[in-house]
Amino acid sequence: MILVVGANGMLGQELMAVLGGSARGVDVGEIDITSLESVQRVLRTLKPRAVINCAAYTDVDGCETKRELAMAVNGTGVGHLAAVTEEIGAKLVQLSTDYVFDGGKGSPYLEDDPVGPLSAYGESKLLGEENARKNPQHLIVRTQWLYGHAGKNFVETMLKLGAEKDELSVVDDQIGSPTWTGDLSLAIKALLEKGCTGTYHAANAGFVSWNGFAKEIFKEAGLSVTVKPMTTVELNRPANRPLYSTLDCGKLLRDTGFQAQPWQEALKRYLELRKK
């Protein structure tokens, strides 16, 4: 049995659907990963062969003011999962982020490129990676710009704003790969089926700015909205973000044969399913 921690979240719900009968989910109320005792109780009772940790504090700007909470959930909590999964002989799958990089490389990031987070969120997720590695049977999956059917995300925000306004300003100097939870879940499934361990990058193919992504969302949704460019400096958010953090997913393809579809195709599919 594969245990999905954070099963009610955006990625967790998609994973439960993709993994089907082989998965069981737990969420807040059933497990508190910041408590070692809670993790011990759940994992020792259920004895899964693998644990996929989708539990995270993902408010990037909020992490700047709630640093202790971010470190507890995204860092220390992963350490608890690593310790107990190792104890029961289970694999730990930890979700991580492009925000562990500083965005200064200028080309897609490989798994072994030097890290250098710019924000408290990035630092907390990097601590989570370090703690996950304490279980020799670990699988760290870095992804980026995630959206899905069961949570707050950029696509839904743009669709809501696009229904209300005919003009928006969106940053055009941050570059990455919008990634659908449906494709990320398939990538994780492929990694598990091949018995992979270590660190992997998984994102939809291609890259774009947030501004370009917004334009594509409105085009596919049939909304007439003018999307004006703005810089990250002009946006002036509390947390610093990497400007170019595209992930190279070649290792995923080589080791599993899985390649996520282009981000444009994934967006189309997401919007089609959203109507049903």
Query: How far apart are the C-alpha atoms of 44 and 7, rounded to whole Å?
Result: 18
Torsion of CA 234, 71, 9, 155, to 10 degrees: 10
DSSP string, 92-129: EEEEEEGGGS-S-SSSPBPTTSPP---SHHHHHHHHHH
Relative to beta strand 146-147, strand 2-5 is unpaired
Active site residues: 121
Query: How far apart are the C-alpha atoms of 15 and 100, rounded to whole Å?
Result: 23
Three-point CA angle 154, 211, 99, nearest 5°:
60
Tell me the backbone φ, ψ of residue 148, rounded to 5 degrees. Answer: -165, 180
Query: How far apart are the C-alpha atoms of 9 and 147, rounded to whole Å?
Result: 11
Query: How far apart are the C-alpha atoms of 195 and 116, rounded to whole Å?
Result: 29
